[in-house]
Structure 1
């Protein structure tokens, strides 16, 4: 339903008056002037407007007839109809023979402005409904399939999330998420966009690779924001936007441990670190950190850490590890034995090696700090 507000009414006045060169008034169907070229008339009763709204027909008033209507001057008053209903009355002040030719122009202008305002309001309400629905889904709250269908949200399709974070997360960086969403949805009709309470922007895409999804999301940002924004993609899921978002958010946090802003990363790049962070470990993290302490405190910590990382990246193949480090395989074996002696975890046992890998991945910031200090 289209409703007339003062701001929209004033837009009609401001748009029409410079074109026709006569004062314009906008009245409610009840005859209250809510916008006028003469600000002193705002709030007054316009009796002729009531007659126009009641009869759905224009009323032309001459100078001699003006005294018959309360708050009325010579001119022409026409009904403004939107959706088959009279929603306003527009009056043009002046001699009828001079202003009557402008009546239809002003009426059509008013109807177009009101229709546009109505469409914007419908779009705003729909955007608000989508945002509330997405927030509920990200919290794991149930949403009826009927409601999702009304909003044209198909969760059965596999989606990938992109989380975008400004260089200064504590500051609001996108004042109009609706504009960003509308811009993205023009080129990606099934894309979903939401701004989280902590000021991150999350975009959900269908049938896109992680790289293409990230590029599509960043391309929608203002250039001055895009160059400094951090971004990450998660794993793809169907019927689970919560998992899409959480995997992307965990990837972002893992990437921020490794890089200065802007950090850009994909779930596939750091699966172990991302999965571990998603679990929000407590005492488990302490266990992994304790395993690294002997290595970090050792005089040859750099050698041990580099050897362990290279051994892991070589899939536990001593010969490949030795080639990458430019060492003899016995030297690599000696260092790995030293790691086992210090930590109590053997790189030669798969389960222990996975434990050491998790320790490195989940303590990347600690290892980085250690390297910087040394």
Structure 2
């Protein structure tokens, strides 16, 4: 249950005294004055409030007694529980006419504050849950129970989508693209995670996000995984691969890049590093590694590759021959090209 704080009590008092010409006091559920038009009375015990709490009814006071001045005192409630007492100072025969409106208004303000706090607490719980869902692979009993409290269906198939953006209000803008049972979480200054439902419309929706919003540089899309954290890591890795290899692609689907990622986890790194070291040591100033990557990304189309690298086709041919002479691997041979490209991947992604 919400606590009737001094700040909330004083806010209510100030609002009431803007509309009625009498002093207003608010006492907590122990009868202590915690808000008043007369600041000198704050902290005093109000016997009329104590009596109103005990008897659970309006109490009229006609003479000064026990820290109480003439007026009326009414219990105020939240969810049928007494939160405190609101009092109006003055002749009870006169101020009682204001009693009902003051009581209703005070309870309305308390209910609004309670609803706001409850929403804030629930949002904080939800954000903490989303962080756990994003980074933890194990779903224990507490995690499942929290999902039930937040009405999050863990059985729905979902895909992690990472939005790379430097827009300060990108999270608010992304909310309009969410469907029911989808969630959004900022994971750092430049990345926002959307937990989206997996269906045949997913790619179309992602393309719509990219086409509609400004300041979106890359979108990483994980695979449809039973464990969401795996999909999140895939979406992040997809963006990393595209950026490190210089691939000209805005929407980065991990499924399209999984083979490249697997190379970094399965090959004998030391064997392939020797090829890279030769290219670095003997091909200084020629950017042979970037030449290889561009060559395979553009399917060996020499004109396109030369344009991409801003060099003449003859210069490109010179570089390819240089690669062959240094490594003993011919980039124009598919088997050799696969081997030296794998070496470049290991170099760029590790």
TM-score tier by shorter-chain length is 0.7 to 0.9
Looking at structure 1, the residues matched to 264 and 38 of structure 2 have their Cα atoms a distance apart, in angstroms, of 64
The equivalent of 1:55 in structure 2 is 55
Q: Which residue of 2 aligns with 1:371?
A: none
Q: Does 1:41 align with 2:41?
A: yes
CA 1:30–1:356: 2 relative to 1, 3 Å: same
8 A Cα contact 2:159 2:221, kept in partner: no
Cα distance change on mapping 1:303 and 1:74 into 2, 3 Å? closer
| TM-score under structure 1 length normalisation | 0.71
Write the deviation string for residues 61-82 of structure 1: whole angstroms up to 9, x where unpaired.
Answer: 23xx232xx2211222112122
Contact 1:13-1:25 within 8 A present in 2 as well? yes
Q: Distance in 1 between matches of 2:47 and 2:173?
A: 42
Q: Tell me: CA distance 1:42–1:285, structure 2 relative to 1, closer, same or farther (3 Å).
A: farther
Which residue of the partner structure matches residue 154 of structure 1? Answer: 153
Do the aligned partners of residues 182 and 314 (structure 1) sit closer, same or farther apart at CA in structure 2, a change above 3 Å counting?
A: closer
Q: Closer, same or farther in 2 for the Cα pair 1:328/1:83, shift >3 Å?
A: closer
Is residue 254–residue 274 contact of structure 1 (8 Å, CA) maintained in 2?
A: no
Secondary structure class of the residue paired with 1:45: coil
Show the counterpart of 1:135.
131
1:122-141 deviation digits (Å, cap 9, x = unpaired) = 22332233233333331223
SS in 2 for 1:73: coil
Q: Does 1:267 align with 2:258?
A: no
Aligned residue in 2 for 1:244:
231
1:105 matched residue in structure 2? 101
Is it true that 1:356 corresponds to 2:343 in the alignment?
Answer: no
Instruction: Give, in whole Å, the separation in 2 of the partners of 1:291 and 1:80.
Output: 80
Q: 1:199 to 1:125 in 2, by over 3 A?
A: farther
**Alignment equivalent of 2:70, drawn from 74, 99, 112:** 74
Give the SS at the match of 2:34: strand
Q: Which residue in the other structure is 2:325 paired with?
A: 341
Closer, same or farther: CA 198–29 of 1 in aligned 2, 3 Å? same
* Mapped partners of 2:173, 2:14: distance in 1: 28
Moved more, 149-158 or 301-310: 301-310
Unmatched runs of 5 consecutive residues or more in structure 2: none
User: Secondary structure of the residue that 2:82 maps to in structure 1?
Assistant: strand
Change (3 A) 1:308 1:282: closer
Q: Unaligned regions of 5+ residues in structure 1, if any?
A: 168-172, 175-179, 220-225, 367-374
| 1:1-374 paired onto structure 2 within 5 Å | 1-62=1-62, 65-67=63-65, 70-137=66-133, 138-144=135-141, 145-155=144-154, 156-163=156-163, 184=175, 188-196=179-187, 201-206=192-197, 208-209=202-203, 210-213=206-209, 232-254=219-241, 257=244, 265-268=250-253, 272=257, 276=261, 290-298=274-282, 302=286, 304-305=288-289, 308-316=292-300, 320-321=301-302, 325=306, 336-348=320-332, 350=334, 352-361=336-345, 363=347
Equivalent pairs counted in the alignment come to 337
Question: Residues 310 and 181 (structure 1 numbering): CA distance in 2 closer, same or farther, change over 3 Å?
Answer: closer
Please state how far the C-alpha of 1:33 moved relative to its aligned partner. 1.4
What is the TM-score with the length of structure 2 in the denominator? 0.75
Q: Which moved more, 1:187-196 or 1:86-95?
A: 187-196
Preserved CA contact (<8 Å) 2:242 2:252? no
Give deviations 1:147-187, integer Å, cap 9, x for gaps.
Answer: 423322223222232255769xxxxx89xxxxx68993896
Q: Secondary structure at the match of 2:253?
A: helix
Secondary structure at the aligned position of 2:161 is classed as: strand
Q: What is the CA distance between 1:45 and its match in structure 2? A: 0.7
* Residues 334/141 of structure 1: CA separation in 2 closer, same or farther (3 Å cut): same
Structure-2 change in CA distance of 1:304 and 1:94 (3 Å): same
Whole-angstrom distance in 1 between the partners of 2:304 and 2:164: 39
- Cα displacement (A) at 1:246: 1.3
* Corresponding residue for residue 170 of structure 1: none
